[in-house]
Amino acid sequence: MIRQNEGVEHDKIKAEPGASTATSPETMTARHIRSAAHDSVPEAKPSMKTAEATRQAHDPRSPGKGEYTTTRKQAQYSNTSHLMVDEDTLARAVLTFLIDSADAFLFATIKGAGSAPDALRLITGRIDDRKNQNRLDEAFATGTARWGRRAGPQAMNAFHNALARWRDRLHLLPTCQAKVLTDWFTNGGTQWIIGPTSPYWPHQVDDLSVRKDWASPLCLWGYGDPRALTSCAKPLAVVGSRGVNDYGRYVARTVGKKAAEQGHLIISGGAIGGDAAAHWGALEAMGELGSEESGRTVAVFAGGLNHIGPERNHELFQHITSNGGALISELCPDTIPEPRRFLLRNRIIAALADTVVVAQARSRSGALNTANWAAELGRPVYAAPGNINIPSNTGCNWLIQEQRATILYSVNMTSEICHKRHAPLIAHGLGNSLQSSGQQTTKNSTVKSHEKQAISPDTVLEKSQDTTTPPHVTVAGTPSILESVEKARHDESTSEAVNSKDCNQAELDILETIQYCRRRKIPVTHDSLLQTLNREAPSADGDSEPTGSQWSVAKLEGMLGQMELDGFITTSRGIIEPTKDRR
């Protein structure tokens, strides 16, 4: 097995904790789920700034300290076309929110339940409902068996622990109103979400589930054109270390360009170094040949798309989205790209590709992790050999020596390692449907012209030839998925209210304000709690109303200290949480 080191190189992350996404106050019934995601249809031949692109790819400086946060310039990665989010995709988005990262337990549960909506209904069922719990255990056991493994007592206990974690996260959802929730999941309509029911779903990622302990992505979030994901039957992944030298950049960029010139999709991770060089190579081919002949490029990220980075690659990401490519992630928009998530991200890069090229890698490079995923999936791996006296070449030389990879003897051998040359497989039906629905598509290769548009629930492409699923599917005799989620959240809130019956009025005010902040995705810190208490208090119907009394810092701190001693709240890293049971 190729070594997977915890010290794997990855982009440095700096993200603001507790960042939240604004949501729309509009509501709609759970039986009329209508939402949108974005689809760009670039038609004009792009004008690439080749000199600037070359400078960016060859800049030897280390990355900036900060991640590029898309909430600042998110409109530059999105555009105004809409896709539908059906019930299955929305259920998968909710389930993704409940897990910390790729989760084999949840994937097995979905396999056993039959569908994501059915799994979500079981997970959100009452904890004290023995019949529902038995059905949930049966779904997990069935899904595990379909994976070729038996769910013994130890596995079942681990599943129950995972289930408790999923249920604990239900109350963190901002709402269960369909339109508002979908608007939140798409970051105000600037991102799209696709699932296996979408015509743009890259089904090669389903190969990840051939392993009994691997999980395929439940859904994918994205900026740019989702059609890029299916524009090539056998994409090529080109990866390399963050600290590649000129030789590594040349290999990555040239291989990326030559493969894109043949119409192939280029997959990489969007990082500086080898990844950026591969993306720029594909974009250079696009600038020379135009969108009708050149292949696209897709960057896969380790965290949510609200934390795309590094910031120094901002221009690269702009060019990718404005020239028919896409930026994608399997995680919810606000998920922070922690180091362990880079290793899981690499499995998606390997699964999306039919062939993987490692341009240059050190002995502790994340590119080796990608090569390992590819080898496990049966993808051909090629590595560029290098001078044995240069540490940057150690990883590739080791891959070749261990017969984990074939020698990439020339950057001109893309015709040998890729399938036959072809034009990008871009369907135009969605664009026609958009125009017939009154949505305007623009011919513009620059990202600066893209404007943010919020989701319009009335804009639903019900008759689009690219839509294979109805806007909302409700199984007869079963509640809507959002109704079941709302009921589970209500049961938990009721339980918390009962456990706080011994509180005095001031303590009840604090507990209600904590719940009020959590419902609105406001981090419950001492400062935010004091500000909310003095500005507005929650009313019975969930709205806010001015409060008559003023809270001082001393009064609030004293109350919080006493409530923590009494077991009503806990404080972790400055965030206040109500306890479920009084200890």
Query: 385 vs 509, which has greater pLDDT?
Result: 385
pLDDT of amino acid 129: 85
| 278 pLDDT more than 60 | yes
pLDDT of amino acid 419: 94
**For the ranges 99-103, 199-203, 455-459, which has the lowest average pLDDT?**
455-459
pLDDT of amino acid 25: 27
465-494: average pLDDT:
46
Confidence of residue 399 (pLDDT cuts 50, 70, 90): very high
| 520 pLDDT more than 90 | no
| 475 pLDDT more than 80 | no
pLDDT of amino acid 299: 98
- Helix axes 274-289 and 50-58, enclosed angle (nearest 10): 170
Mean pLDDT, the chain, rounded, equals 75
Query: 566 vs 531, which has greater pLDDT?
Result: 531
400-420: average pLDDT:
95
pLDDT of amino acid 77: 64
pLDDT of amino acid 507: 82
pLDDT of amino acid 549: 54
**Angstrom distance (rounded) from CA 375 to CA 378:** 5
User: Burial level of 461, CB count in 10 A (0-12/13-18/19+)?
Assistant: buried
| 371 pLDDT more than 60 | yes
Bridge partners for 267 per DSSP = 237, 298
pLDDT of amino acid 320: 98
For 396-409, the three-class secondary structure string (H helix, E strand, C coil) is HHHHHHCCCCEECC
Helix (H, G, I), strand (E, B) or coil at 545: strand
Check: CB of residue 273 under 8 Å from CB of residue 309: no
pLDDT of amino acid 551: 81
Among the ranges 60-69, 127-136, 319-328, which has the highest mean pLDDT value? 319-328
Say how many C-beta atoms besides its own lie within 10 A of residue 519's C-beta: 17
**For the ranges 262-271, 400-409, 463-472, which has the lowest average pLDDT?**
463-472
**In percent, how much of the chain has pLDDT > 70?**
69
**Angstrom distance (rounded) from CA 142 to CA 560:** 46
CATH class of 501-578: mainly alpha
Confidence of residue 496 (pLDDT cuts 50, 70, 90): very low
| 207 pLDDT more than 80 | yes
Q: Which of 340, 345, 360 is closest to 5 using CA atoms?
A: 340
pLDDT of amino acid 258: 97
For residue 196, the 8-state DSSP code is: T
**Angstrom distance (rounded) from CA 222 to CA 37:** 9
Q: ∠242-232-35 over CA atoms, to 5°?
A: 90
pLDDT of amino acid 232: 96
Q: Which of 27, 11, 4 is closest to 67 using CA atoms?
A: 11
Give the position of tokens 């963190």: 172
**In percent, how much of the chain has pLDDT > 90?**
46
**Angstrom distance (rounded) from CA 323 to CA 447:** 9
The fold for domain 46-77+210-417 equals Rossmann fold (3.40.50)
493-518: average pLDDT:
68
**Angstrom distance (rounded) from CA 515 to CA 501:** 15
54-74: average pLDDT:
38
pLDDT of amino acid 427: 66
pLDDT of amino acid 484: 62
| 449 pLDDT more than 80 | no
**For the ranges 97-106, 206-215, 223-232, 329-338, which has the lowest average pLDDT?**
206-215
Q: Is 378 left (phi over 0), alpha (psi -120 to 50) or beta?
A: left
Which one-letter amino acid corresponds to residue 571?
T
**Angstrom distance (rounded) from CA 322 to CA 434:** 18
Which residues make up the CATH 1.10.10.10 domain(s) of the chain?
A: 501-578
> Which helix H or strand E contains 238, and what residues bound it?
strand 236-239
Which one-letter amino acid corresponds to residue 269?
G
Overall size of the chain counted in residues:
583
